[in-house]
Amino acid sequence: MTSSRLANTPISVLDLAPIRQGGTTAEAFRNTLDLAQHAERWGYNRFWLAEHHNIPGIACSATSVLIGYVAAATSTIRVGSGGIMLPNHAPLAIAEQFGTLETLYPNRIDLGLGRAPGGDYAVIRAFHRDLRSGGDDFPQQLQELRNLLAPARSGQSLQAIPGAGTNVPIYLLGSSDFSARLAAQLGLPFAFAGHFQPDGMFAALEIYRENFQPSEALEQPYSMAGVPVLAAETDREAHRLATTIQQKFLNLIRNQPGPSMPPVDSMEGHWNAFEEAAVTSKLRAAIIGSPETVREGLELFLAQTKVNELILATDTYDYQDRLRSYEIVAEIARSADKSTEPEELLTAKL
């Protein structure tokens, strides 16, 4: 029997509701919904939306609202946050929001949590956060939230209604070892944000696995990794389309965030050597190319990281290119599943 990690690994989608140059927020939301419906038909495991603020080109700010929008128009795929930036919110508000979502769409809602602001210092101030805290109170906020989602206790003075007793599954997200250690200590699943900060990914995942403590939520460690993936019919076309996300990271580095830009034939002349190196470091984990190139890249990524699940982030200027990329990956996954059949059966089919 041939072996394929990809055949046995759930694959999910991370979406930011990107706004393209010349496009509208309404268009971005329609595309998000359409992508979720296609992902469900293609067999993706989850569809997560990530909280961002004050970033032109990203419309996923009212994350809970968008989760409800997607969950209402799908029926089987899990829908959740990748993630909610908990320090921006009162735990009670998140417990009520996700308790409501879980009640409306039972057994389909995930609550991924991060401790970053999801924006700049203006966002931190707007949410009345302490600029000096650095998310250090995240463990306390997390415990408060978990208490509110657990069954209400006798005499409990504060309850999330709805929320109490829903036990919405919680995932800790991070781009360093802080959340990896916390997830391991609490026995929660952990997702590393390799789609924008691959540095430290291997170390954080290893720390999580080595220090994991079984809990009521999880008996064995369960790790996920965000990875940028862009699949097209040829390597050349995929790399041309990838200049859109390169331009997006370049603009972020220049502190000039903006909408998704049309692809260019070459980034030469668009950046200097320092900027090129900075963008390249952010996209070090990216898998870009033809179906065969992407298949090999995904198999290698799984072998290196040993994660239990992949969550793919794809950003293109033209929505149809983004949709096609996810379709190609779904086709790759299906073919990988077939390739693991016993060799005698494969021979019989030939």
Task: Please determine, for residue 342, whether its predicted confidence score (pLDDT) is greater than 50.
Answer: no
Q: What share of the chain has pLDDT > 70, as a percent? A: 92
Structure tokens of 29? Answer: 């939301």
The enclosing H or E element of 244 equals helix 243-253
The Cβ of residue 253 has, within 10 Å, a number of other Cβ atoms equal to 15
pLDDT of residue 280: 95
- Taking phi over 0 as left and psi of -120 to 50 as alpha, with beta for the rest, 239 belongs to alpha
Taking only the tens place, the pLDDT of each residue in 69-99 is 999 999 999 999 999 999 999 999 999 999 9
Residue 341 has pLDDT above 70, yes or no: no
What's the rounded mean pLDDT across residues 99-107? 98
What average pLDDT does this structure show over 34-39? Answer: 98
Q: Which residues pair with 84 in a beta bridge?
A: 113
The CATH number, out of the four listed (1.10.20.140, 3.20.20.30, 3.40.50.620, 3.40.50.720), of the domain defined by the range 6-238+285-349? 3.20.20.30
Nearest-angstrom CA–CA distance, 132 and 179 = 19
Q: Are 57 and 18 in contact (CB under 8 A)?
A: yes
Query: Does residue 300 contact residue 292 with C-beta atoms inside 8 Å?
Result: no
According to the model, what pLDDT value does residue 136 have?
79
How much of the chain, in percent, has pLDDT values that exceed 90?
83
For 273-340, the DSSP string reads: HHHHHHHHHHTTT-EEESHHHHHHHHHHHHHHH--SEEEEE---SSHHHHHHHHHHHHHHHHHHHHHT
CB-CB neighbours of 120 under 10 Å: 14
Q: Which two tokens stand for residue 177?
A: 């070892």
Give me the count of residues in the chain.
350
- pLDDT for residue 133 is more than 60: no
And the tokens for 130? 């302490």
pLDDT digits (tens, 9 = 90+) for 278-312: 999 999 999 999 999 999 999 999 999 999 999 99
For the cut 70, the answer to whether the pLDDT of residue 275 exceeds it is yes
Report how far Cα 31 is from the mean position of its chain's Cα atoms.
17
DSSP assignment of 119-178 equals: S-HHHHHHTT--TTTTTTTHHHHHHHHHHHHSPPPTT-S---TTTTTT---EEEEESSHH
Q: What is the pLDDT of residues 159-194, one digit of tens each?
A: 999 999 999 999 999 998 999 999 999 999 999 999
- Angle CA(102)–CA(89)–CA(248) in degrees, nearest 5? 95
CA distance linking residue 6 with residue 327, whole number of Å: 15
Q: What three-state secondary structure class fits 271?
A: strand
pTM here?
A: 0.92
Say if CB 332 and CB 232 are below 8 A apart. no
pLDDT tens for each residue of 224-247 = 999 999 999 999 999 999 999 999
Q: Where is 186: in which H helix or E strand?
A: helix 177-186
Domain map (residue ranges) of the chain? 6-238+285-349
- Other C-beta atoms closer than 10 Å to the C-beta of 22 total 11
